[in-house]
Structure 1
């Protein structure tokens, strides 16, 4: 049976409304500031789309949120941001800390923080925020695998994002990737940073993996460092030698004492 031309035209029109951003290469992008990523990504990530950031494990939740906030700063260098948090995230990791955000290079005064009682409220808040075209980006954190955050909800949020041009970063903690309308999907792990001069805490470092990209890019993994002064990503600098944590009950070697072969020494956390 052959479909009528007017039926095919109607179907194409319906698909165009559902997936208005099916050709990301022809859309505006925001660069990450790292040539090894921006090149393969065709200039960066799509503006006015949703991007998913999954924590590799629940303990990597703060790293995933930090990476998403960094992406939001790249997508909207000066505009106001809305940050929606499911209250369970506050219970697990504590509330956002202003000085900590400033140390990431993000002015707390740019943020409108919304706390949602559950995932359904978080979805509604994120979509309402994305409707406001005056915003630069929306970051929304979810805990677990709520049924309300399904493919339909993802498509609706994607459609809203594309209509207003507001980029939406969805952080998933304690969840496994599932079908969605995201333009890109990332997995993030925390990574050790290098201490700066005078022993100051180093820049944040993330181990990131591109799991999915709408343009069909193959998965790739890399180590990136967030430069909070220039608000851009750069290649992560590997540590020069293996570092061991101090086991419980063991003392660190006194300052100035030579380290014997095989001896475990304590090291300060760099970031």
Structure 2
């Protein structure tokens, strides 16, 4: 699809694309919260996910997408990115998303020019019953990210029965209506047999939770076959699933795009 400059045109194009996403599949009940981890996918609503440093932005996106898959319950995930995030940390890489276990039908990519358009796309996507989760990736500080804007996102998520993960890089944590607030950084993965690259690994710190969970940091890895977060494997082997389990089955083809 050609790039769309106007915000109203962008939202209209997204609405049209979402109308063709097919019938709604019932959400599945996951295992979020197992092993003491209060994963954001356990509750509907808004969740703030901050990159610990600008260099951690790619890992923070991957972490948020993993949470989105767990929250979506089999429905598609809409991932909207601000152009500045593309320029600073790189565009989404199809083979890399495939390696994380994402199928083309699972993910709808949207690129926007500014923070206001990002928020508008998020609200529109959350209104669609076909969408299970929304990931919004922003870069830097912006006046659009107000407490009122976060309340609008939170209300849209609760009304639509979905979850929204607002990824912020090069920005300081700020007050919002989010259910949880996270700080994420990349960590070294555990090598596999024969020196093969290990699973993507993350250090995730829960900074704030409306549910009352205490601040704490977890180290976890992403299992692409089961599409779940797992604890790093001990020497004896074995992994403990921490998030909602779903069957993988990647297809060939490009991810769908709007704008």
Q: Secondary structure of 1:210's match?
A: strand
Q: Secondary structure of 1:193's match?
A: coil
Residue 31 of structure 2 corresponds to residue 35 of structure 1? no
| 8 Å Cα contact 2:190/2:232 also seen in 1 | no
Structure number with bigger Rg:
1
Which ranges of structure 2 fall in alignment gaps of 5 or more residues?
1-27, 236-259
Deviation beyond 3 Å, 4+ runs, structure 1: 28-34, 43-47
| 8 Å Cα contact 2:45/2:158 also seen in 1 | yes
- Higher RCO (C-alpha 8 Å, min separation 6): 2
Match of 2:193 among 185, 191, 197: 197
Q: Secondary structure of 2:214's match?
A: coil
Q: Determine the structure 2 residue equivalent to 1:170.
A: 166
Q: Determine the structure 2 residue equivalent to 1:86.
A: 82
Q: Secondary structure of 1:201's match?
A: coil
Give the deviation of 1:79 after TM superposition.
1.1
Distance 2:44 2:33 in 1: 18
Residue 45 of structure 2 corresponds to residue 59 of structure 1? no
Distance 2:142 2:53 in 1: 17
Aligned residues between the structures: 208
Q: Secondary structure of 2:59's match?
A: helix
Distance 2:187 2:177 in 1: 29
Distance 2:31 2:169 in 1: 25
What CA RMSD, in Å, does the superposition of the two structures yield over aligned residues? 2.0
Q: Determine the structure 2 residue equivalent to 1:188.
A: 184
TM-score w.r.t. the length of structure 2 is 0.75
| 8 Å Cα contact 1:64/1:171 also seen in 2 | yes
Give the deviation of 1:30 after TM superposition.
4.8
Give the deviation of 1:55 after TM superposition.
0.2
Give the deviation of 1:33 after TM superposition.
6.7
Distance 2:63 2:132 in 1: 16
Give the deviation of 1:109 after TM superposition.
3.1
Which ranges of structure 1 fall in alignment gaps of 5 or more residues?
1-27, 240-271
| 8 Å Cα contact 1:54/1:64 also seen in 2 | yes
Distance 1:108 1:198 in 2: 31
